[in-house]
Amino acid sequence: MNMEIPVVIFLGAPGAGKGTQATYLAEAKSIPKISTGDMLRSAVHEDSELGRKVQMIMKEGRLVDDKTMLSLVKERIAHNDCRNGFILDGYPRNLAQASALDTVLTPEMKLKVLNIQVSEEEIVKRIAGRRTCAKCGRIYNIYFRPPDFDEKCDLDGASLCQRSDDDESVVRKRLATYKEETLPLIRHYRDRKILQVINGLQAQAAVRKAVLAAVDR
Ligand code: AMP
């Protein structure tokens, strides 16, 4: 029996909407979304050994080393909930990570790479305006999707916070890191003919539809 296991990679600059779209797709396909950024933020929050190691790096908008990232991802995708496929949000981030990922995939796993494209000005606005509910994690944007009441979550009234690396100067640094390290990945996957480009400037529902169509293709 030919059992194909989808492994979806979301590429795109910080703020392109990878996290939001990966969450939708995970629900639609009943497969887990693995966000390396979220995993690292939890580690920082828990003040674990990993958290202490990566805290400064994340604060400065730099990348955590490839070896640490591979062991984190490898351990996560070995969990039972990944057996029918999974979505990677934020990994791989450079060519070395892309090669490392290839070594941990099984022959049944089929890579589908989606690049969500958005302009730089839009990104700065999106990220600098982004706020997250401290309690339920719901995402808002003070420019595009403000809460009903000033800086409070519509669902539970908890305060909204800004990620420490969403500050504008850090956003610019993260964009520079993205251009330097992650753009070559787009070429890499385009050459392998598994890259699909999604226009991230469309309304969220249209992006969602395009993502689903790309994954089912
Ligand atoms: P993100 O939420 O994906 O924007 O990630 C936030 C931060 O976590 C990044 O700016 C990096 O410092 C770190 N990070 C997340 N994923 C990776 C990765 N694959 N490789 C290296 N660092 C990462």
Q: List, for residues 108-150, the tens digit of each pLDDT value.
A: 999 999 999 998 888 888 888 989 999 998 989 988 889 999 8
Q: Selecting from 3.30.1360.170, 2.60.40.60, 3.30.70.20, 3.40.50.300, what CATH number does the domain 5-31+84-216 have?
A: 3.40.50.300
- Residue to substitute in 23, 93, 127, 169 for testing ligand 1 pocket (most ligand atoms within 8 angstroms of CB): 93
145 is catalytic: no
Residue of the nearest CA to atom 14 in ligand 1?
A: 37
- Check pocket membership of 93 for ligand 1, CB cut-off 6 A: yes
Instruction: Given the residues 62, 163, 172, 173, select the one marked as catalytic.
Output: 163
What are 156-181's pLDDT values in tens digits?
999 999 988 788 888 888 888 888 88
Which pLDDT score is estimated for 2? Answer: 56
- Check pocket membership of 40 for ligand 1, CB cut-off 6 A: yes
174 is catalytic: yes
Give 3 Cα–ligand 1 centroid separation in angstroms: 31
Backbone angles phi, psi at 144, to 5 degrees: -105, -30
Domain boundaries defined on the chain: 5-31+84-216
End-to-end CA distance of the chain: 20
163 is catalytic: yes
Cα separation, 22 vs 32, whole angstroms: 9
What are 11-66's pLDDT values in tens digits?
998 889 898 999 999 999 999 999 999 999 999 999 999 999 999 999 988 999 99
Cα separation, 44 vs 42, whole angstroms: 5
Cα separation, 55 vs 75, whole angstroms: 20
Ligand 1 atom having least distance to the Cα of 14: 4
Q: What average pLDDT does the structure give for the chain?
A: 93
CA distance readout (Å), 180 to 48, 105, 152, 200: 29, 26, 36, 21
Instruction: Given the residues 29, 41, 93, 125, select the one marked as catalytic.
Output: 93
